[in-house]
Structure 1
Amino acid sequence: MSEAATLARPPAGVPQDRIVDFDIYNPFHGQHDLHVAWTQLRDSTPHEVVWTPYNEGHWIALSPDLINQVYSDATRFSSRVVLVPKSTAGEAYGDFIPLSLDPPEHRPFRKVLNDKLYGSAIHPLEPKVRKLTVDLIESFVANGRCDFVHEFAEELPLRVFMQLVDLPVEHLPKLKHLADQFTRPDGSITPAQATEAFKAYVHPIIEERKAKGGNDLLTHIATSEVNGRPMTESEAARLAIQVLVGGLDTVVNFMSFTMRLLAQAPEVQARLAANHDLHHAAINECLRRLPLVSSAREVVADVEVDGVTLARGDMIVAPTELYALNPEMNADPLKYDLDRKVRNHMAFGSGNHTCPGQFLARMEMKVLLEEWFARIPRFELEPGQTLRHRGGIVGGCEPFVLRWDVG
């Protein structure tokens, strides 16, 4: 554990065997695999819910049923605060909407996002996504190697997202740094400072888009109505910031987890290169095997769960990793199996706040597999690397190098 001064005191009455040495931002004990770290925690205790003194102290849901309840039952687990530590990252992020709103208040704001991110609204983007994907792969394919995180994963989804919101690519480093302060803070600035920086960036853009018009997502937010009235400037800015934070991290990391896994599975590569009809199953199996979000909720009122009392105002983290990686939900859950008949997962969350960007993420992954395997049918991890994952609200991969035979 860290120094005792940095750790919270357990709530009164919490049994000692419920207290675990687990920091979601640094969950690793003797290894550096995010999913193994979570399963080690689950396997270390018979309980469905445990308490950790890290990050101001909070509960962690371990069973699939409880994880699902935390995401789905807003009457007991509120989205008012979704990050830990509660008093810093949690309260700062709670200024953004619609994730910090519970039903029914969140619905009109969520509809604004759905209008631009669901189903048919995403289809027109595919040609642009495909061209950018091809251009990126062609830029390094002849080299026989690439740093996948830096040369592809941090390029494709972020550039596509910047097109979606019609913002200059040159603004990406600043925006990505601010977004990371909520999911994996590095201490360079506080979450409150990141929030203020986002507001300073977004407010003039919202004013400009209201006057100028256009078809991009930020203009749609700036000019939309909720409950039969125009959104206030504050509401539009808070919704826009939520979009920016959500769009600048998750797909980058999911692509990185996926390609690192496939690099270690030559038999899967051979099948995907030979049969594009398997790509859909491959994406779904990656979503099942590689979930990476561990969001939190605030307890609405004192409630007994698995023999302990969660008090009003307590925070509980619900790792989507442990929903899919439980043998009750999927047989042999750590195995990557293209032929799996049933895939139970919560990679995009559950309930009212299921990720609105899932259609764009799936399309980007589909295009990646199609264009990658058309040019690089066999690849591997370059030997001698130290491979590490990152913890956090959204898990990630440290950069790694892939290599392949040229020609």
Structure 2
Amino acid sequence: MTSAKPEPAPSCPVHDYTPYELKPLGEWTAFYDQLRHEAPVVKNEFGRGYFIPTRHEDILAVLQDPETFSSEALVAYEPDPSYKWIPAMIGGEEHRQWRRQLGPYFSPREIERVDTRVRARARGLIEELAGRGSCDLMTDFALKFPTAVVLEIVGLPEDDLPFLMALEEDINHAIGDPDDVVRRKVAAIGAVKQYLAEKIAQRRARPADDLITKSLDMRIDGRPVTDDELLNWWQFLIQAGLDSVAGMLGYFFHHLATHPADRRRIVDQPQTIPAAMEEMMRAFSFIVTGRKATRDTEIAGCPVAAGSMVQLALKMSGRDDSFYDHASTVDFDRGTSNHLAFGAGPHRCLGSHLARRELRVALEEWHRLIPDYGLGEGEPITEFGRSSGVNTLPLAWAVRAG
């Protein structure tokens, strides 16, 4: 009697987990590492189900193939979104026209022009904290700093910051039943749009020297952009400005608070900050984005049917040992900037120059004013499996005399 042959291992292992689950910091990273070691592609049955490429080369290939993997849906468990963020969720010539017109406002030259304002904003917030001896980095600095910078550049009142941060909480950090979370997210997006519609109407009536007024003159295919298009663009910009840099700062400061040698190097050799930033962005990329298959295709041998969603957890790329030597180790001398923290392909982050400037200024000004710090007491540090960063980061330091 011959024994039955074992069934071949599936080319795409199936899981069923919720990305809304809060876990202690590091557990999601370990889980994603496990998936990458398990197979080049896995499938999560959460929602309607979606595929997850786990290795750098496949994640990069999806990002660079917008014809096969459309950005019309950016959240893997929302395949038919009721919103349309511009320019992130459009493609082809229309997308190129938006990028050409928006690009100059976020160019290195333009970002250099606003450096003084960005630095003053960071310095003011940090000076207020320095004498306290402790803070929650996320609520006291990481969320306030980039949001205030974006509001200033765009031309929105600083007094509106608490209102927009509360909406951002529902868009990116809501917890609970997934259906309720989605409803809260959609409602918050609607509230942001209503707020922006009022600001656009005000600028049409009373133009000002700000980005909102300048955007009113943009044209697509020779026609003026519509108010609805402007709302979708501004809603996306505000949301991105509220959350992405803040999330990265959380991971940066957690690493530096728990690795004194790296922190001391930044204090003693501030010229190393740009390289340190690139390395930490590689190691701690937290953005999770999605794409929708436009045709029957495959990823690393795993069949992907037309209409299927694909989730790209950029952290999985940065921690891929087949692409980066000792990928889980943070090495400020690695000398690499070819990470995917800002994505890749035609939809690579339009605001990457501003984000880098904000991150660099935050590290420079913080370590000039508060050079020695560690983790403080407070709520457990947790994170979602989806894009949002850490939820809290208590820090503590000795207050300087005088």
Shared fold per TM-score greater than 0.5: yes
Shift of 1:223: 2.2
Contact 1:330 1:342 in 2 (8 A): no
Q: 2:16 aligns with which of 11, 14, 21?
A: 21
Change (3 A) 1:237 1:376: same
Shift of 1:80: 0.9
Q: 1:127 aligns with which of 109, 116, 131?
A: 116
Contact 2:25 2:381 in 1 (8 A): no
SS of residue paired to 1:297:
strand
Shift of 1:209: 1.9
Q: Which runs of 5+ in 2 are unaligned?
A: 1-8
* Structure 2: distance between partners of 1:367 and 1:171: 23
1:146 matched to 2:139? The reply is: no
Structure 2 partner of 1:108:
97
Comparing 204-213 with 357-366, greater Cα deviation is found at 204-213
1:159 matched to 2:143? The reply is: no
Structure 2 partner of 1:400:
393
Comparing 207-216 with 351-360, greater Cα deviation is found at 207-216
- One-letter identity of the residue aligned with 1:150: T
Contact 1:141 1:376 in 2 (8 A): yes
Change (3 A) 1:117 1:362: same
SS of residue paired to 1:156:
helix
- One-letter identity of the residue aligned with 1:71: L
- One-letter identity of the residue aligned with 2:55: S
Structure 2 partner of 1:388:
382
Change (3 A) 1:215 1:34: farther
Structure 2 partner of 1:80:
72
Contact 2:22 2:383 in 1 (8 A): no
Q: 2:53 aligns with which of 61, 64, 70?
A: 61
Structure 1 partner of 2:333:
339
Q: Identical aligned pairs, as a percentage? A: 28
Change (3 A) 1:362 1:170: same
Residues 11-52 of structure 1: per-residue CA shift (max 9 Å, x gap): xxx959620133333274x87544233212222x1x211111
- One-letter identity of the residue aligned with 2:17: F
Q: TM-score, normalised by structure 1?
A: 0.88
Shift of 1:400: 2.0
Shift of 1:202: 2.0
SS of residue paired to 1:86:
coil
1:359-378 paired onto structure 2 within 5 Å: 359-378=353-372
Contact 1:179 1:244 in 2 (8 A): no
Residues 225-270 of structure 1: per-residue CA shift (max 9 Å, x gap): 2232211222122211111121111111111111111001111111
Residues 150-208 of structure 1: per-residue CA shift (max 9 Å, x gap): 11112111111111121123323333343444444443644443343233222232232
* Structure 1: distance between partners of 2:199 and 2:377: 46
* Structure 1: distance between partners of 2:283 and 2:244: 15
Change (3 A) 1:184 1:401: closer
1:51 matched to 2:43? The reply is: yes
Contact 1:159 1:169 in 2 (8 A): yes
Structure 2 partner of 1:172:
161
* Structure 1: distance between partners of 2:164 and 2:398: 36
Change (3 A) 1:383 1:176: closer
1:314-325 paired onto structure 2 within 5 Å: 314-325=308-319
Structure 2 partner of 1:199:
193
Q: Identify which of structures 1 and 2 has the higher relative contact order when contacts are C-alpha pairs closer than 8 Å and 6+ apart.
A: 2
SS of residue paired to 2:114:
helix
* Structure 2: distance between partners of 1:178 and 1:55: 24
- One-letter identity of the residue aligned with 1:144: G
Q: Give the number of equivalent residue pairs.
A: 387
Comparing 170-179 with 343-352, greater Cα deviation is found at 170-179
